Structure 1
Amino acid sequence: MARSDNKRRRSASGRAGAKKKARRGDPRSPQSSGPRRATPAGPRDWIGAARLRTLPLAVAPVLVGTGAARLVDNRFHWVLALLCLTVAVALQIGVNFANDYSDGIRGTDDHRVGPARLTASRKARPRTVLTVALTFFGLAALAGVALVVRTQHWWMLGVGAACVLAAWFYTGGKRPYGYAGLGEVFVFVFFGLVATVGTTFVQAGAVPAEAWFTGAAVGLLACAVLLANNLRDIDQDRLAGKRTLTVRIGRRATQVLFTLFVLAPFVLLGLLALLYPIAWIGLLALLPGIVAIVIVWSYREPRELVIALALTSLTALGYGAFLFWAFVG
């Protein structure tokens, strides 16, 4: 009888222990319903978080700006061009990781449609993602300082600081401008005009009109990429209180604006071709852009817009490459 009582007590104790484990989410308990730790991020996750499909947007203005510099100075300044490219690419990767961090800690990416982010998926600690973002911002700053030392244009330190601040406050800080529908404005200015004109100026010491016009064109293509991204996330952003331009104006107006942003640069290309005949070949870069426009108008699932985003980035890269050829040819 005593042994029977002991068995009942041990059985009851075991059930009580199992319930406690389940309540506190002990992963050893089969009844546990607590949150499970996500698989730690691997190399593929980190590369994905860098969002390589957006890097053409950093390369295109450097190509265009370097080509425009040749219109003023017949020499190639390869070291300066490579430093400009380092600044642009490092800033682009830095802002991608900064967005991952800022949107992740705000909960904006909790129901993301596109590729999972490191912070929101809990595959990496927020502090680690932030450290990576700051590291790339630091690399961009170092390359920028090297440019300033080489060219002696010390006032450009202020331009570089403005670029880093714009990259951070897109989704960072208490009042990120990306949450207020101003993302396209800053992308146009910094990834279009500043990147292109700045590249031309540090190499040639002057800025021809072609650099301003083509900088605006590259900026429009970068804005088109952002529109495709925000169109994909429109429902999630609306629920999260992220008032992007797409959330403000709606799907149909975004589709129209996307189409205009993709086509307008090629109208300018046609005008430039009157002076630089090779630019006509640049119309080939419009082919992926046309496919992107068709996807934006006919998509049924938000995930399809990831393809439109990538194709628009390729359009920007082709646009920059063909203009570089036209200017130096």
Structure 2
Amino acid sequence: MSTAEVSKRRAWVMAARPQTLPAGSAPVIVGAGLALHDGVFAPLPWLAALAGALLIQVGTNFANDYYDFVNGADTEDREGFTRVTAGGLIPPGQVKLAMIGTYGLAMAVGLYLVAVGGLPILVVGLSSIIAGVLYTGGPYPYGYRGLGDLFVFVYFGLVAVTGTYYVQWVVENGVGAFPTGLPTGLPVVEPLLASLPAAALSTCILVVNNVRDRETDAATGKRTLAVMLGYRWSRVEFLSLVVLSYAVPVAFALDPDYGAWALAPLASLPLAASVSRTVLTRTDGDALNPALERVGQTLFAHSLLFAAGLAAPALL
């Protein structure tokens, strides 16, 4: 489909990149599963965390579309999904306004989360938005300096899962409005460990994206980790992240409090194996664009199964 045939509504959907939304929702789902296991599931904070995560994801997508165009990183040789700013589908100013508006909505949702979660959530929320903008924006976009993978691992895994669990825990334990620090008795190890699969598979999405774009990124001076590592070590990174995502459920299963239910994510292994074969053998957009969506599907399936496995001992 040529850019001239794309409707305005379709262009905005393309800019929002709904295929990336599993990276926003998956860690929040895992946070719910762990909260159910611990008897601290709180629907309203969980829904607010989900809405905030999805809005930050979409806002970051708008930011990347806009700033990659401004920085000259999107060229005609790029093999990825169509970028609406570079493709002339939506004027740059409108995409920038959409970014600001979406982040503004995320901050509005965040007001409730800050009220119940206090200073820790305020720090997490603001840093998430700032990190999303500076990924490709600002004078020194860190996504162009090999730090994008670390950003995704931290914010779409560690921060998202532990933050989701935290806001539920403080509500269910009656901590009170706007705590200024982490409350006594708050579990830390289990939420961090549970966050690793979502962190790993979310990063896998970026690895596939950057392997596909390695040549064009290098030509435009965008030094992603894939540009720095090359194809072989980028594939090693990808496989290491996949292995981590399936090793963590095994670790939980060894704990009698969780048991064999925690092995539920292993049911998604065939999907992970299939997409891994593609990443190990292909570098072209014809293969890796569908692979991107399959990694997102793997992330979502793994997270649903992991959440169900974590919650099962408390619900059955």
TM-score, shorter chain, exceeding 0.5: yes
**2:254 alignment partner, one of 254, 274, 280:** 274
**1:328 alignment partner, one of 306, 311, 315:** 311
**1:209 alignment partner, one of 189, 214, 235:** 189
Contact 1:231 1:254 in 2 (8 A): yes
SS in 1 for 2:41: coil
Deviation at 1:301, TM superposition (A): 2.6
Q: Deviations over 1:290-312 (max 9, x none)?
A: 11101111226333111211111
Deviation at 1:71, TM superposition (A): 3.5
* Equivalent residue number for residue 318 of structure 1: 301
Larger C-alpha radius of gyration, 1 or 2?
1
Contact 2:27 2:198 in 1 (8 A): yes
What are the equivalent positions in structure 2 for 1:244-263 lying under 5 Å apart?
244-263=224-243
Q: Distance in 2 between matches of 1:247 and 1:60?
A: 28
Q: Deviations over 1:35-72 (max 9, x none)?
A: xx966752122112211111111111101112222333
Task: Out of 152-161 and 105-114, give the one that drifted further.
Answer: 152-161
Contact 2:211 2:283 in 1 (8 A): no
Q: Structure 1 residues 75 and 268, CA, compared in 2 at 3 Å: closer, same or farther?
A: closer
User: 2:50 matched to 1:70?
Assistant: no
User: 2:124 matched to 1:159?
Assistant: yes
Q: Deviations over 1:204-254 (max 9, x none)?
A: 132342210121221111111100000110111001000000000101111
Amino acid at match of 1:44: R
Task: Out of 255-264 and 219-228, give the one that drifted further.
Answer: 255-264
Q: Distance in 2 between matches of 1:158 and 1:249?
A: 32
Amino acid at match of 2:15: A
Task: Out of 245-254 and 45-54, give the one that drifted further.
Answer: 45-54
Contact 2:79 2:284 in 1 (8 A): no
Name structure 2 gaps, 5 residues minimum: 171-185
User: 2:24 matched to 1:58?
Assistant: yes
Q: Deviations over 1:61-119 (max 9, x none)?
A: 101112222333x2431111000001110011110110000001222112221121111
Q: TM-score, normalised by structure 2?
A: 0.88
User: 2:163 matched to 1:198?
Assistant: yes
Q: TM-score, normalised by structure 1?
A: 0.84
Q: Distance in 2 between matches of 1:75 and 1:231?
A: 40
Q: Structure 1 residues 59 and 40, CA, compared in 2 at 3 Å: closer, same or farther?
A: closer
**2:110 alignment partner, one of 110, 131, 144:** 144
SS in 1 for 2:135: coil
Q: Distance in 2 between matches of 1:152 and 1:39?
A: 46
What are the equivalent positions in structure 2 for 1:62-141 lying under 5 Å apart?
62-72=28-38, 74-111=39-76, 112-141=78-107
**1:301 alignment partner, one of 284, 305, 316:** 284
Q: Distance in 1 between matches of 2:117 and 2:153?
A: 27
Contact 2:27 2:156 in 1 (8 A): yes
RMSD over aligned Cα, in angstroms? 1.6
SS in 1 for 2:295: helix
Contact 1:56 1:316 in 2 (8 A): yes
* Equivalent residue number for residue 238 of structure 1: 218
Task: Out of 223-232 and 283-292, give the one that drifted further.
Answer: 283-292
- Identity, in percent, stands at 35
Deviation at 1:285, TM superposition (A): 1.7
Q: Distance in 2 between matches of 1:235 and 1:300?
A: 10
Name structure 1 gaps, 5 residues minimum: 1-36
* Equivalent residue number for residue 199 of structure 2: 219
